[in-house]
Structures are given as C-alpha cells and as structure tokens.
Structure 1
C-alpha cells in the first residue's frame, strides 16, 4: 500500500512538472476552451466508450461504477473488492493546416487523479481533473501578407468531484457525482496598424480579458449487467448531467504597447481598465449545456468485450455574454463511439503478454461549434495496452494509449488539425477490507 502511494505521488509530481500547456488547438479560442475530460485512458483507448464497468478500473464517466460489483468475486477470493487509484497524463502533437500554410504544435497535460472505495452495497469516488483547456496563438494575415490581428489565450476550467454509487440489485447500480468547477481564462487581442508605406507603426493597441470561473454541476449514472448465456454478458449504461451555470468574474483592459517584431516581446506603455460594472458585465453567468449518453455491449467476462455509446449534448444552450462574435454559433453536439478489448488469458501463469489487455476503438463527433457556417467535426481512432504490474491477485496495470484524429476544416480559411495523443496512466488496486482467515 505504501509503495503504491509513493508511486502515485512520484507520478503526480512528474506530470505536474511536465504539463505546462494543456492544448495548442486554435479551437480552444471558442467558448471556455477545448474539452479535455474524455474519460480514463482505458476508455479513450476504446474509442471513448464508458460502457464497460468492472472492479479493477476506475470509470470517471459513470458514478454507478463506484460500487464495483459488476464482476465475479472469484478473482478476489470471494472477498473484498479492491480500493482503486488512478493517475494519468497526455502528450499531444498536432499539425495545423490552412489554405495559406501549416504549422506544428505540441502540448501536454495532467489528465486526472482519482480514487474509488467500495463499502458494502455502496461505493465512493473522488478526484481532480482538467475539464477544459485554453492555449492558442492565432495570427490574422491580410492581403498584403501582414499581420492585422493577433489573438492569444491560456487557462481553462478544472474540476474537483466527489460521488457515490449504490447497488440496487445484483444487476443494477446507480450513482451521482457532485462536481465543483473552477479556473480562469485569459486572452488578449492586438490590432496591428501600419503606415501608408506599409511600415509597422510604433504603438499598437492590445485588449486583455480575464474571467475567473466557478460553479457546481451534477452527473447521474445507471449501470446494468447480466449474463444472457453461460458465456455472454450484456452491459448497458446511461448517464445524464443537467444544464448548469458557472459564475464568471470578469476584467478587461486596453493597453498601448510596443511590439518587437523579432522576438514578439510586448512592452506596455500605459493601461486603462474598462468599467465592466457600468455595462453589467463585471459578474455574469455562463450556461453549461446538459449531456446525455447511452451505451450497450456484449462480452465474455475477463476475455473480450465490444460496445457502442451515443452521446448528445445541448451545446446550443451555451452562452457567454462577455465574449461574443458574429461568425460563431453553437448547435447541439453528438458523438458515436465504438470499441472494445481482448485478453488472451487473464490468469496465465506463464507468458506475460497473455495477460495484457489489448484495446481499440474509434469515434466521430459533431462538436457543436459552427464557425462561418462551417460545422467543426472530429474523428478519431485509438489503440491501447493494459500492462499488468505488481501483485497478480490485485490486477493493477499501467495503461498506454495512442489516439490519432482530425478536427476542423480548411473551408472558409479555417484550420484543420491532425493530432496524435499519447496517453499514460497507472491503475493501482489495494485491498483495505480483507477478512483475515486462520486455520
């Protein structure tokens, strides 16, 4: 147990030092940033499905999974289910293409740290994860091949969650997460001015904005599992997160600056704060849309599984009264995910790779973001391995995942992203409530 905690702490400090920027996507310019929370590495390696629930992996998408009784007790000597720990991080590499050229971008982020504790018919979970991330620098080039505007942004929304699940029957469980969202988003815009001769004027104008965000939301979950034959098991899940609001405390200022075109260093000369109070924009509310997902799958316990999941989000309800523009609108978003896993032989005494979990999947989504009447869609395929580590009887593992995908379009001079995500997680199990036996 102590060794596992030490490993987790080392992983946290390593990931914290490594994850300086959560995204490099130009589409994080819109809304409250790019959605970073897409489930555990195990989920993402199977196309993003969260249908499969068991007693040895944390499932952060469905709080009904905290109970952890959806697997036979045989692997745990008919005794206590394990306490589960998980920590993860992601490194991303992207190629950004437009009609005028392309660029490379890299980012990394700490994904989550979480813990789940089963107690009788109850299960409890809590943890920390980034919900959205902002990180972009966009240059608007005019017909003279000159920068007319520069946009930059950073920040994002983090989430602390606590939840519990309850085993209603041997086949049905339910749960709820309470999420506290917090963070800030900072962005700036520079309008470049030129002389009639095409020379950059000495002074430029920069607008700076900052929003500090906070608020609660809920996520409800159901999970059903039953054997439909001697070898086949049916799984079905559903989750629902109602519409909620984030409180936003906003600041805005305008600065006169000098820009060094060689280093891009910006030297402020003077700054003027905007009275947002007079515009009723000092404190505002942001609407977070509701989210509903439903999924089902078939498999042979501890051998293989194939599942599908559909997610609908009322993104058209999103609103941000502080940052609006005429070229962007939101429509309801949806995603379809397919995936599964295969284990050659989970209890093999020889042959390490017989106990490895092999995962794969794909997904397609309409993100709900529409720019210049162009819907921003996303497609991805994923692969992963679950590598056994530690005590065989506890089924701990290190999970490695790779995702390749595309986002956006080059129509209307927009940007298409080709990205590769490398995911790594530790899923560690420990038994706290084991009953001691004496001869």
Structure 2
C-alpha cells in the first residue's frame, strides 16, 4: 500500500510544485521570492528545532539524521495559510493552500538515504493603483512562480551518538512578473512581462551528536553547513502595447542570462532532553548578504543585509508506550521563532516572528502518525509606509512507516 501511495504522491507533487502559488506576500517580489521553511510539520511545530536522529520521522534539516532511521519512511505535508495585509489606511485578506514537501527515507544499516522534492521559494503578489484624475495613471503589478528543490542525501553513523551526512540539491523553477500601465482617457496602455527560468546545484553537509549526561538525560547537538552556490537565471523581457479596439502589439523582446551567487549558510542547534519523553532546544542560523543575487529584482528604496534566525522549541510525550490512554501517546510540540530576512525597505528591516504549536497523533496499529501544526506570526510592519503581513498557518503532515527489503521466512 505504501508503495502505491509513494508513486501517486510523487506524480501529483511533480505537477503541483510547478502550478501552486505558495505566497500571498508583497515581499515575495524581491529576489527569488519568499523562502519557505525546509523542514517537516514536526520540526515546524517546534519553531524549526530538529535535534534527534528519529527512527520513524525524516528530519529534512540535516542529512546526518538519516542514519538514525529504523523503518522505511514516507512523508508528505501541506499548509493552509490565511494572511491579513495592512498598511496605515487599508486592510486586505488572502489565502493559500500549498504542498510543502514530499520525501522518502531508507535505513541501510549504518547508512541512511533520503530523497524528495521541496518547494524552496514562492512568488505570489498582486498590487494595483487606480487614479480618478484626468490623465491619471493606473498600474497593476503581479507575480507568480518560485524555486523548487529535488534532493538526495546520505547519512552515516560514524560512532555511537555521532553521525555525519551530505546532500545535493538540484534547484529549478520559473518566476514571472507582469506590470500593466494605462492612462485615463487614452485608448491604449503598455504591458511588461519578465520571465526568469532558474536552475542550479548546491551541496550541504551536516553532523549530529548525542551524549548521555545522566541516568535519563541526553545532550544533543546539530551542525548544518550550506556551501556557497549559484543559480543561472535565463531571462526573457517583452514589452507590449494593448489597444482598446485592436488587440496587442508586441514591439520589444529581450533575452539575457545572469549568474546569481549566494554565500554559505551555517545552522547550529543544541538541546537537552529525555529520549521519547521530552526535549528543549535552540537553533541559530546565519548567512552573509547575498548582494547582487537579490538585486536582479531591484527597486527603489530597497537594500539587503545579513540573514539570521533564532528559535527555541521542543516536545513532550506523557507516556509513549501507554496501553491504557491514547492521549498519553500524543506528542505535544511548541516553539518561538525570530527571523531577520535580510530585506530592508524604506530603511525598515523586514523581520518575521512567530509562535508555533503542534501535535503528533499515532495511527492505531502502526508506527505511522499524523502531525498537525499551527503557526501564528507577523512579517514586516506598517512603519515607513510599508505593509504588515499577519498570518496563520495550519499544517498537516503524514509520516508512513514500514519495513522494506526483508526476506520472507515463509512463502
């Protein structure tokens, strides 16, 4: 059964990854769009904390974790996002439903293999301005698309408590941006379409360590390093004039190609807990200013700085092997996150902060589970004439587990 689910889901996600518009944020205009969270619903519900080498859950944030898998694991997750966009005078609402990831993990002795697909960034905005004045200018800006990652990673258990890993990502996607301008009482207007086809490869390395510090307590550490990498952006720009009574006339078409270079990124996590009972941890991530990689979508009064994020989170299980109470086997998760996106508009830093909650619900009679997550956050502010984005994300993920590649004892 799991094999049929696996094949069907990969086909569906392959189509949906290209088609879905995963952002409703006006800040997705800049760079390659709004960067999505990479991990699973389980990690997201703990504000991004992923410290343990779980035997039945895939930790997409560090390939070293694959070495801890004991069962073949197939996972898929999605999010319903409700957004309120407001400035000092008006407010609008927007909703999005997205597929967040699809991945498979295979235990191979001391090795562990993981592979799958992740939408990495999303572009989705529509901004219009109208004028009632004679010869007033009416404009509309819209964008869609994003960047996706197909990845494969390998983890290896070097010694008791220590594992290392590496993964390779093939990045691909398309971003389209359209701007329309028309003047009142003038029977024609102009349309500019910019399309960027993106592709590239990047490598990441990770290590995870677990050490017993008491009869029940364990200390956990995780290190993840993304090498400097680049994307090739193949761009097509066309400018057209549209007439009220005679259609569209395209008079300018330009093609170009550009390399977008991104600096290395380091993520460090540490925590303490009791295995299969509770865990509390913290995560820090840092990346230098990508510079011109963001500026191919340049705009006035926009700058870029360093990216950084800090989060604290964890989980609690009352009694993971209780036979008398289902609720005691539920995993309760929570966390707090603060992120500096690196984007600066009108001299205001666009920061993102959120609180997260979640539950892991065991599916009866199996090692599989249903995971739910809630994220309540805010991106940007109304200072400097900007837009504040208040969002509520409800995430659902399934983790299906089974034993593959076993010899039959009986025919």
TM-score bucket of the superposed structures, by smaller chain: over 0.9
Question: Aligned to 1:186, which of 176, 184, 203?
Answer: 176
Q: Counterpart in 2 of 1:273?
A: 252
2:69 aligned with 1:95: no
Conserved? CA contact 2:372–2:394, under 8 Å = yes
Measured in 2, the distance between the counterparts of 1:50 and 1:162 equals 18
Q: For the structure 1 residues 361 and 268, does the alpha-carbon distance in structure 2 shift closer, same or farther, using more than 3 Å as the test?
A: farther
Q: Say if 2:193 is the partner of 1:202.
A: no
Distance 1:142 1:51 in 2: 54
- Report SS of the residue matched to 1:65: helix
Match of 1:291 in 2: 265
* TM value normalised by structure 2: 0.93
Offset of residue 432 of structure 1: 2.0
Shift of 1:142: 6.6
Q: Which residues in structure 2 correspond to 1:100-139 (within 5 Å)?
A: 100-139=89-128
Task: Tell me the SS of whatever aligns to 2:123.
Answer: strand
One of 155, 167, 172 as aligned partner of 1:165: 155
> In the TM superposition, what is the alpha-carbon distance from 1:191 to its structure 2 partner?
2.5
Cα distance in 2, alignment partners of residues 401 and 342 from structure 1: 15
The whole-number CA distance in structure 1 between the counterparts of 2:291 and 2:301 is: 17
Specify whether residues 206 and 6 from structure 1 end up closer, same or farther in structure 2 by C-alpha distance, changes over 3 A only: same
Q: Distance in 1 between matches of 2:356 and 2:291?
A: 30
Contact 1:42–1:384, Cα closer than 8 Å, also in 2: yes
In the alignment, which residue of structure 1 is the partner of 2:196?
211
Equivalent residue, structure 2, for 1:78: none
In structure 2, distance between residues paired with 1:101 and 1:366: 25
Question: Superposed, which structure 2 residues align to 1:366-381 within 5 Å?
Answer: 366-381=340-355
C-alpha distance after superposition, 1:113-156 (max 9, x if no partner): 10111212111110001000111001246796976432100000
Distance in 2, matches of 1:112 and 1:240, equals 21
1:60 aligned residue: 60
Instruction: Provide the secondary structure at the position in 2 that maps to 1:315.
Output: coil
Aligned residues: 407
Residue 276 of structure 2 aligns to a residue whose secondary structure is coil
Distance 1:396 1:415 in 2: 41
Deviation for aligned residue 1:275: 3.1
Secondary structure, aligned partner of 1:230: coil
User: How far off is 1:323 after superposition?
Assistant: 2.8
1:425 match: 397
- In the other structure, the counterpart of 2:238 is 253
Unmatched 5+ stretches in structure 2: none
Shift of 1:384: 0.6
Give secondary structure in 2 for the equivalent of 1:319: helix
Structure 1 residue 259, shift from structure 2 partner: 7.7
Q: Which runs of 5+ in 1 are unaligned?
A: 70-80, 195-199, 261-266, 277-281
Equivalent residue number for residue 244 of structure 1: 229
Deviation at 1:409, TM superposition (A): 1.1
If the length of structure 1 is used for normalisation, what is the TM-score?
0.87
Secondary structure at the residue paired with 2:230?
strand
1:45 matched to which residue of 2?
45
299-308 or 424-433, larger mean C-alpha shift? 424-433
Tell me how far 1:38 sits from its aligned partner.
3.2
Alpha-carbon distance in 1 for matches of 2:408, 2:218: 32
Cα pair distance change 1:293/1:17, threshold 3 Å:
closer
The CA distance in 2 between the partners of 1:65 and 1:348, in whole Å, is 26
Q: Offset at 1:202?
A: 1.9
Distance 2:106 2:244 in 1: 54
Q: Secondary structure at the match of 1:354?
A: helix
**Cα separation, 2, equivalents of 1:166 and 1:214:** 29
* Alpha-carbon distance change, 268 to 295 in structure 1, aligned in 2, over 3 angstroms: farther
